[in-house]
Amino acid sequence: MSGSRLCGDVMTSAKGEVGGAPVGRPGSPARTRDRYLDVLRAVALVRVVVYHTFGFAWIGFLFPSMGVMFALAGSLVARSLDRTTGARVVHNRVRRLLPSLWLLGVVLIPSMLLHGWPTDTGERPLVWYELLYWIFPIADPPGNDWAVDGTGVLWYVRAYLWFVLLSPFLLRLFRRAPVATTLAPLLLVVAYTIGALDLDEWGLAGTGLVDLGTYGTCWLLGFAHHTGAIRRMKLPVLLGLAATAVIFGGAWAATHPAVETGFDLNEIPLAQALWSVGAVLMLLRPSPRLDWLDRLPALRRLVTVLNTRALTI
């Protein structure tokens, strides 16, 4: 982003940690939950619900929930990969992910058929074999216009599934070339944005690649958080990178608003990617203990429920 010296500092920070043991607080048990990460995820979930309820575009600038959630998930998946095999990690994550989707499909698919699908004229007419994506969502599960509020958010399930499937390979690649691997998704979004790569012609695969590019760097920054690279990065370097990402992301959103939704980061992939990266760098650097939650049992319980039922919410 800003020259060889900064890249060298980042590379040094990342390489200094990627071969070591998972980083945690001194003296803390290896499996103890990190309250700070739980609070970040809880805030992200609340923000998502508020956005989808009221449609406030500005709230994405206040707290880029998707980038934060993918970063947190990346950190937890990397931690799991350091404890057990990649096959077991993928199996466990997929086993937790899919039942909620299947239950939603049991309710929504018959309901959509009763409400005119496939005879309606929506953007995505029913193709029967695509119903398989309701079983294993390597592409967005299909739906009609009547159910768009229920199916439109399922891109997150598809993107999360792909990140999980790719993580065993990505973590090995990250350990060999942390900076290049972390920046690669951003370069994909840049290529798409400037027209060097026309992913719109790739159909569902292109949509998936845009999302992987938009949030891939956040997922990989989760790896960097797990390995301690973010914590070891020199603070001026980290703040400089974060500020650069936020400034360029905000500037791009201001000068390239979405046609229908204006300054909504969710509809401006490059702005979303950069703004999210800047926020994730700043949010994942500190590691406060948050012992004060013990004095507020109701709030502590709410944070716990939001984390244990994140996918359902």
What confidence tens digit (pLDDT) does each residue in 220-250 have?
999 999 999 999 999 999 999 999 999 999 9
In a domain, 89, yes or no: no
The one-letter amino acid code at 156 reads Y
Q: 188 Cβ partners below 8 Å, 6+ apart?
A: 197, 209, 212, 213, 216
Residues facing residue 258 across a β-bridge: 262
**Average per-residue pLDDT for the chain:** 88
Kindly tell me if the per-residue pLDDT of 27 is higher than 50: no
Cα→Cα distances 202→39, 157, 199, 207, Å: 38, 20, 5, 8
In a domain, 116, yes or no: no
Please answer whether residues 227 and 181 qualify as being in contact, where contact means their C-beta atoms are separated by less than 8 angstroms.
no
Among 17-21, 31-35, 155-159, the range scoring the smallest mean pLDDT is 17-21
Q: Provide the domain limits for residue 63.
A: 4-19+33-83+177-308
Query: How many domains are there within the chain?
Result: 1
The mean per-residue pLDDT over the stretch 286-310 comes to: 91
In a domain, 141, yes or no: no
Question: CA 55, 282, 190: angle at the middle one, nearest 5?
Answer: 65
| Residue 262, phi then psi, degrees to nearest 5 | 70, -125
Percent of the chain residues topping a pLDDT of 70: 88
Other CB atoms closer than 10 Å to residue 305's CB: what's the count? 12
In a domain, 236, yes or no: yes
Kindly tell me if the per-residue pLDDT of 124 is higher than 90: no
Helix (H) or strand (E) segment spanning residue 196: none
In a domain, 101, yes or no: no
Helix (H) or strand (E) segment spanning residue 166: helix 155-176
Query: Helix, strand or coil for residue 17?
Result: helix
Among 41-45, 145-149, 191-195, 196-200, the range scoring the smallest mean pLDDT is 145-149
pLDDT-derived band at 121, boundaries 50, 70, 90: low
- Position 6 scores a pLDDT of 36
In a domain, 140, yes or no: no
CA 259 to chain centre: 24
In a domain, 69, yes or no: yes
In a domain, 264, yes or no: yes
pLDDT-derived band at 309, boundaries 50, 70, 90: confident
The mean per-residue pLDDT over the stretch 106-123 comes to: 82
| Rounded CA separation 263/252 (Å) | 10
Please answer whether residues 101 and 130 qualify as being in contact, where contact means their C-beta atoms are separated by less than 8 angstroms.
no
| Rounded CA separation 287/303 (Å) | 17
